[in-house]
Amino acid sequence: MLEVESIQLTDPGPTRARNEDYLGVVTPDSAQEARQRGWLLALADGVGGSRMGYVASRTAVEAVRDGFRRAPDGEMLSTTMARLVQQANTNVHAAAREAGPDGSGMATTLVMAAMRHDRAVIAHVGDSRCYHIRGDRVTFVTSDHTIVNEQRLMGLITLQEQDESGICHILSRALGTELFVSPEISELQLIKGDLMLLCSDGLHNGMSDKDLKRIVAQGGELQEMGERLLQHGLTSYGQDNTSLVLARVLDVERVGMYRGRPYKMR
């Protein structure tokens, strides 16, 4: 059976009066629930400068957390994640309307990782990130939904021009701005010892892959590792709310698929 340990850490940062990040984890209550539904990690970052961003992030995470708990047993995780993103978007959009003028521009990023058996499915909208860490290899799973990143992917600007751009944090996609949203969804295989890191831009803006490898390589308990990452974000960037959800895979259950149904592999 898949076994996972996780922690959640957040700090408003030295320059922010309010924390607009919101985190959530769903842990199965039994072995049967672990096999049928699995684990969920979620992180949202209320869009800076917009009104009531803290409401948007909380609304999004609560929507996906509650929806994951009610997901049909054995449903494909990719199907579950796509539905949860749309539900979160609907809830944020509705909250903005209910707030009246104060809710104008309410929006949030969202990144999630659902894990079951030996697989992880990642869904995201915006520039909150997911990293997969295996030994000394760091894989950037998500792709920032920002205007300059999409310009770089189309070959319109270089990586250096992207890093030096004055609009590098302007999102091209976020929850709550439209009635429908298009998330990116990806899947990867898990093995024992893998780490999954979700984080807001308050952390990754001041953290290179080299920094991440160095901090993880110091080892220790998951809480200690997370606190080192959080402190690095606060000292190297420190201009925003800084948050992370960190999970370690303790064991996996290898499965195959036959006619859409999983079977245990020996």
Give the residue extent of every domain in the chain: 3-146+172-255
| Chain mean position to CA 73 | 23
For residue 173, what pLDDT band results from cuts at 50, 70 and 90?
Answer: very high
Q: Tokens representing 152? A: 């770089």
For position 4, what pLDDT does the model report?
98
Q: Residue 87: is its pLDDT beyond 90?
A: yes
Q: Tokens representing 119? A: 């697989």
Q: Residue 118: is its pLDDT beyond 50?
A: yes
Distance between CA atoms of 42 and 123, rounded to whole angstroms? 10
Distance between CA atoms of 147 and 95, rounded to whole angstroms? 26
First to last CA, the chain: 12
For residue 257, what pLDDT band results from cuts at 50, 70 and 90?
Answer: low
Per-residue burial over 226-260, b = 16 or more CB atoms within 10 Å of its CB, e = otherwise: bbebbebbbeebbebbbbbbbbbbeebbebeeeee
CA contacts within 13 A on the Cβ side of 19: 15
For position 103, what pLDDT does the model report?
78
What would the mean pLDDT of 68-87 be, rounded to a whole number? 96
Distance between CA atoms of 145 and 124, rounded to whole angstroms? 9
pLDDT digits (tens, 9 = 90+) for 134-171: 998 999 999 999 876 666 566 656 555 556 555 557 78
pTM, 2 dp: 0.91
- What backbone torsions phi and psi does residue 227 show, to the nearest 5 degrees? -65, -35
For residue 259, what pLDDT band results from cuts at 50, 70 and 90?
Answer: very low
DSSP H helices, 30-76, are 31-36, 53-69
Distance between CA atoms of 234 and 110, rounded to whole angstroms? 21
The closest alpha carbon to 183, from 110, 114, 250, 259, belongs to 110
What would the mean pLDDT of 187-211 be, rounded to a whole number? 95
DSSP H helices, the chain, are 31-36, 53-69, 77-98, 147-153, 159-164, 201-204, 209-217, 222-236
Helix or strand run (H / E) with residue 51: none
- Which of 3.60.40.10, 3.90.1150.10, 3.40.640.10, 2.60.120.260 would CATH assign to domain 3-146+172-255? 3.60.40.10
What percent of the chain has a predicted confidence (pLDDT) above 70?
86
Distance between CA atoms of 152 and 144, rounded to whole angstroms? 11
For position 167, what pLDDT does the model report?
57
Mean pLDDT of all residues in the chain? 89
Helix (H, G, I), strand (E, B) or coil at 45: strand
For position 247, what pLDDT does the model report?
98
